[in-house]
């Protein structure tokens, strides 16, 4: 795609409604690899649905790609780990974080994670080095969790919540919850509010799938907020601004938490 080149492990920066100019770090890269296969994923159907921890990309490759951006004086507000799947599957994530901190000590480092791997001590040890952690909760019961997130074998909503609570024991920074609301999962309000209260995040990001679902794997989908596609995609059902406002109002009242809506 000539209009949206994503040939490096470091991509963007993209304009995020949450973070400003966000420079993406992709420690997976070669193909889409994740412990979820969410029905709304911007990457489309995940090619490798797995919980395998390994070095997917050499640390030095990522640092070299980042140095190119820094040498070009690219405007960056924040560095965000995301990319071609679940970044905590990268066994060298801790080394990547340390290396980037050396190259760009003043840039905040965030991660978008589905929280499936937080039961691993090594993952928690890596994530405590970050400035903000954003975890995913899209469902309030196991049946809907299976339908929306379509996890790898052995992963449950209960295990995800337990992992987040384990992380909170050792992490003093901000943990935010990111939730993708669609007509299929915006009904379990009381159960969802109860999960939020149990986790007690610093904020909740209320989102809806404005980007379409690609019908084939393309690395260019990483951070494609401009929705530029030269291949087949499928539009997804979103919640309306009015419904989002209703959910935001009810959640604020039920939990007392800060709710950040994509429509605001």
Based on its alpha-carbon atoms, the radius of gyration of the chain, rounded to whole angstroms, reads 17
Q: pLDDT (tens digit, 9 = 90+) per residue, 211-231? A: 777 777 666 666 655 556 566
Residues 261 and 179: their CA atoms lie apart, in Å, by 10
pLDDT band with cut points at 50, 70 and 90 for residue 4:
very low
pTM: 0.92
* All domains in the chain, ordered by first residue: 10-261 (3.20.20.70)
Least confident of 88-102, 114-128, 183-197: 183-197
Does pLDDT of 2 surpass 60? no
Q: pLDDT (tens digit, 9 = 90+) per residue, 9-27? A: 999 898 887 889 999 999 9
Crossing angle of helices 93-103 and 59-71, in 10° steps, is 30
Residues 245 and 97: their CA atoms lie apart, in Å, by 36
CB atoms within 10 A of CB 28: 23
CA 65 vs. chain centroid, Å, equals 21
Question: What angle is formed at CA 152 by the lines to CA 239 and CA 141, rounded to 5 degrees?
Answer: 45
End-to-end CA distance of the chain: 31
Mean pLDDT calculated for residue range 222-248: 79
């Amino acid at each position: 795609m000539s209009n949206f080149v994503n040939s490096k492990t470091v991509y963007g920066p993209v304009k995020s409604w949450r973070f400003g100019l966000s420079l993406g770090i992709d420690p997976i890269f070669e193909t889409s690899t994740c412990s979820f296969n969410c029905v709304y994923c911007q990457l489309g159907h995940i090619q490798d649905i797995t919980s395998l921890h390994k070095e997917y990309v050499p640390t030095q490759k990522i640092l070299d790609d980042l140095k190119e951006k820094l040498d070009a004086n690219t405007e960056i507000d924040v560095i965000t780990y995301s990319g071609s799947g679940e970044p905590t599957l990268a066994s060298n994530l801790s080394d990547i974080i340390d290396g980037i901190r050396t190259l760009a000590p003043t840039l905040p480092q965030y991660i978008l994670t589905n929280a499936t791997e937080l039961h691993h001590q090594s993952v928690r040890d890596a994530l405590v080095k970050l400035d903000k952690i954003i975890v995913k909760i899209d469902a309030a019961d196991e049946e809907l969790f299976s339908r929306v997130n379509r996890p790898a074998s052995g992963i449950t909503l209960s295990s995800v919540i337990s992992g987040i609570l384990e992380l909170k024991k050792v992490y003093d920074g901000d943990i935010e919850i990111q939730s993708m609301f669609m007509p299929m999962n915006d009904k379990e309000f009381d159960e969802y509010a109860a999960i939020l209260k149990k986790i007690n995040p610093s904020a909740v990001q209320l989102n809806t799938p404005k980007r379409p679902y690609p019908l084939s794997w393309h690395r260019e989908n990483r951070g494609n907020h401009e929705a530029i596609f030269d291949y087949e995609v499928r539009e997804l059902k979103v919640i309306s601004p009015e419904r989002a406002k209703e959910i935001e109002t009810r959640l604020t009242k039920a939990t007392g938490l800060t709710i950040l809506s994509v429509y605001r």
